[in-house]
Amino acid sequence: MHVNSEPIRNLEDLRQWREQILTLARRHRVLQVSVFGSVARGDTHANSDVDLLVDFEQGYRLTDHIRLLQGLKELLNCKVDVVDRRALRPEFRDFVLAEVQPL
């Protein structure tokens, strides 16, 4: 597997890895992947992570979530946060959904 060596500064940078991300996501029972946070807004800094909002298949396991997270960190060579849409906390839901962008 080819691994990223450049920082992810914006959505365009992340989308260069779209096919690899989606392949990894499907392998771990994900139906849809979206982007939110600083990458979606285009205001990253040196310590920014990649925030992904995902929709898991019904009946997915915690190991799917963990392995997806590990695989994405290895692929993108940066900090990644994977959030299950169904687990979004009510106080953050509107904020996250307002800025979410398709991968």
Question: Which carries the bigger pLDDT value, residue 5 or residue 65?
Answer: 65
Which one from 51, 64, 81, 94 is the annotated catalytic residue?
51
Which one from 43, 49, 81, 94 is the annotated catalytic residue?
49
pLDDT at 9: 87
Q: Looking at the domain assignment, is residue 3 inside a domain?
A: no
pLDDT at 81: 97
The amino acid occupying position 34 is S
CATH of residue 46: 3.30.460.10
Instruction: State yes or no: is 51 an active-site residue.
Output: yes
Q: Looking at the domain assignment, is residue 49 inside a domain?
A: yes
Provide the domain limits for residue 89.
11-102
Contacts by 65-71 with C-beta closer than 8 Å and gap 24+?
A: 65/28, 67/28, 68/24, 68/25, 68/27, 68/28, 68/30, 71/24, 71/27, 71/28
Please check whether residue 75 is in contact with residue 17, taking contact to mean a CB–CB distance below 8 angstroms: yes
The percent of residues above 70 in pLDDT, for the chain, comes to 99
Q: Looking at the domain assignment, is residue 86 inside a domain?
A: yes
- Per-residue pLDDT tens for 20-39? 999 999 999 999 999 999 99
Q: Looking at the domain assignment, is residue 5 inside a domain?
A: no
pLDDT at 7: 80
Q: Looking at the domain assignment, is residue 4 inside a domain?
A: no
Strands of the 101-102 sheet, one edge to the other: 80-84, 50-56, 30-36, 101-102
pTM: 0.92
> How confident is residue 1, by pLDDT bands cut at 50, 70 and 90?
low
> Could you give the number of structural domains in the chain?
1
Instruction: State yes or no: is 55 an active-site residue.
Output: no
**Is the confidence at residue 6, as pLDDT, over 90?**
no
- Beta strands 80-84 and 101-102 are unpaired
Q: Looking at the domain assignment, is residue 2 inside a domain?
A: no
Q: Looking at the domain assignment, is residue 1 inside a domain?
A: no
pLDDT at 2: 72
- Per-residue pLDDT tens for 42-64? 999 888 999 999 999 999 999 99
